[in-house]
Structure 1
Amino acid sequence: MTPAEAARRIESAHQYFQFLMDSTSVAWTDLEVRYRAGEMTLQQAATLVHPRWLPDGLVTPDRATRAFGGQIPNYESCQSDELWGYNCAFERQLETDHLFPWSLGGPTHPENAVYLCANHNRAKGHDVHLVPWTEASMNWLAREIEEVARLRRAY
């Protein structure tokens, strides 16, 4: 990863957290209107799936469990290069984790999976500074926002 890419990811994470904090007094439905009008950045839109927006006990289907099921594809190797910009020198036993953290609303879905060795998985934690913040890395977001909207309407 280049220094410019690292700086972009750090700035994107800052924008995410800043909007999350600044929007505490705004109604979710008002933010949803802005999202549907195309008036939100990717970082701002990601705040719409934060667990704080759902009434206690409600979760979207892709957040019903935190554990990824199934086998890790045989062709996968530790994806430390995608997060930190270098190849892994540790063991090859991989774990599946959420690229966009589950604690912040990331779904337990293959589109949000990252395969890391135990060392890199522990280092990653729930750090959004490592998220690539691209449409491709968050192609699950629109679907999750729809699920949050559906649950909020049904509640």
Structure 2
Amino acid sequence: MPDLDMLIGDTVVASLADYFGHPCRYELSYTASSGDRAAVAVSISEADLRTVAIAVADSVRVNVTATDTSDNIAAQDFYVSVEQPNRAPEVTGRIPDVSASPNRPTLRGRSPASRERRSGPRAAGPQRPSVRTPRSP
């Protein structure tokens, strides 16, 4: 059986009939074990071996055994290396829209509480005079 290079979360399913046979065509039963079950999980369903990469590991030995009806056995080992995938970053939120006027920038989508925090007491400095202009009727 070939060695495997896998990424965490990968699953490989292989037909054991491709790797074991019997000269008299007797039916075979299979078992499998992993040298590090915390990193590489193996299971068998009928004649399929499922290998699952769980955690980063270097060269975990997997043993597969075929047994015939007379308890004769054949065994093969292969090795699995598991790496952390290097995936691209993902967008997890949305940046709020921003609008600005010449006199007053505002952020749309902000909560009233965050607006209050933002418009809290200002540092002491020169005060601008307030000018009111009458409205036209």
Q: Shared fold by TM > 0.5? A: no
Which is greater in Rg?
A: 2
Higher relative contact order (CA 8 A, sep 6+): 1
Greater share of strand residues, 1 or 2? 2
